Chain A
Amino acid sequence: MSEKSAAAAEHFLRLEGIGKKFGSNAVVKEVDIAIEPGEFVSFLGPSGCGKTTILRMVAGFERPTSGRIIVDGRDVTALPPNRRNVGMVFQAYALFPNMTVAGNIGFGLKIARAGHAEVDRRVAEMLELIGLSGFEKRYPFELSGGQQQRVALARALAARPALLLLDEPLSALDAKIRVSLREQIRSIQRQLGITTIFVTHDQEEALSMSDRIVVMNAGRIEQIGTPFEVYNHPATRFAASFVGTLSVLNATVEEPAAGSVRVAGCMIENLALPRGAAKGAQLPLAVRPEAVRFGKAAEGDIRISGEISDVDFLGSVIRIRLRVQGELLSLDTFNDPSVEPPRRGDRIDVSFGRESVLVLEGQ
């Protein structure tokens, strides 16, 4: 077996050159990705970026215009959804209103002609897994949104699917339930070791749950990486701006060979500038708010002073927006109850490390 085919065999799910057009509108363009067994991969992007279309192609609800979908070594591109052995959780729960919780969870097993005893045993197992034992006889309308979505998850997992697809399952829930349910989903996924694709437009969900994140924009993959990589080393300007909060500062290239630029009256040196950056060229630089600190800088740090234009109290964190020579720079600082936060109009000094500066190449 060649090295390439051996590597391919290890991948549980492969999308090879997947594309989808609706009429002349290409919503997914030549997407390639390989997912390992048991991996939790999130597709993250704004509305209309093609992430849900990819999920629907994997489920079989949409037929790719080009490319192949391989699951566990089997080409499923042309298979109908009811023969793909995937479990799916929808944003709108999609529980069958006429069936009890047990009826919903056991539906897939009954379709697969499992015996009564097997269905009952598996339903009990699933209810225990999602922490809803004793809810067998309830109808969906008797459950809260979070409980309904847990039942939907149990229903998707009951028939032991090869792949779990989650289509923005937390979007319809309120903030607190969302956080607890995402922890529960991740814990169940780890426990079962099931390969999972999660579609979301919520970066916090993607960052907190995923093994890897696929950042998508306009039908294309912008970056694939671990949450750490995507957040700290965004590959493109879109990935940098979509994941997390960024302050973008316009810099002027001073010495391309030395990697030095001038920003807000301050020189920064030894930056990895993009190829072809000429002296005098404008270059966008970005800094995460949490990388900016109050007060004096350490050796080699970049120091900037500016006037506070806004202070947002976010509970555990205070976000301060600083106006620096026409640019806006955000800074996050932990809330200290013994220290009064600065006020609008105050002049303050801030600093940040050179390593925290992201050079956006303008893709």
Chain B
Amino acid sequence: MIGNYNPENTNISATDLPPVKENLIIQVWKNRKARLGILIIGFFAIFGLIGQIHTPYPAAYDNFPTWLPPSFKHWFGTDYDGHDVFSQFMYGTGVSLYVGAAVALIAVSLGTLVGLVSGYYGGIVDNAFMRFVDILLILPTFPLLVILSTYFKPTVTSTIIVIGILSWPFMARVIRSQILTVKQRPFVQASILAGMPGYQIMFKEIFKFALPLIIINAVYIFVGAIVAQAGLAFFGLGDLSSINWGTMLYYAQSQDAVIYYAWWWIVPPGLSIAILGIAANFFGNGITEVFGERAGEV
């Protein structure tokens, strides 16, 4: 019945393409949304970085005429006290983004570690961590931020710590959920059968699944922290001697910039926060797509 069928003649074809390891970074760059997000965030980052080193005028210098609208001499005009708004904005971008990045770093590291360990080992360890996380999550964020801020001496660093403490629990939860679903899959059992020790399985096999979540959430926490810090500063709870988006908005509000129609003082920091948020979204969507393509049915 098999006829003249000869198994030896047939080649099980792998694919028509030569086997090439696809580079993650190139793939991310090729994705339009991710690229747009990266470009926008990158622009702000470079802008802010340069601002730490050099601005058109010293950001703290306040002897310019006050309330000047934008001109060739002062691109973003001047504020109530005679500062050059553009210089302030440029310098402040660096500070704001630094806060965002620092918080993101803390929250991601702590959150991922706790989420990984909790999810993989389960049992008492998981219970303990998660109850602690639950407590932190139940407390209302902003009031808590306010209260904590009054206890710490308001500096940029203390703000970072405070916001960081409140950002990591969410991360831990998200990562833990992902780990729990992945843990059940046969290939994890296969790794156990291969003789890999637990921590190795955690970091080498399962961690990769958390990567897209980590990246996306890192960017969201980054932007969220910038907004939180700006919010705190706006309410006067930050370090008012620091120059950043939040303090700019604080002074703008307290000095009645609206009444003076000084839009050039309000718009740059405010609009930037919004644009950064949008960029984060684009980036997040793009990354999700890329990771989805890479792994097929992950």
Say whether A and B bind each other.
Answer: no
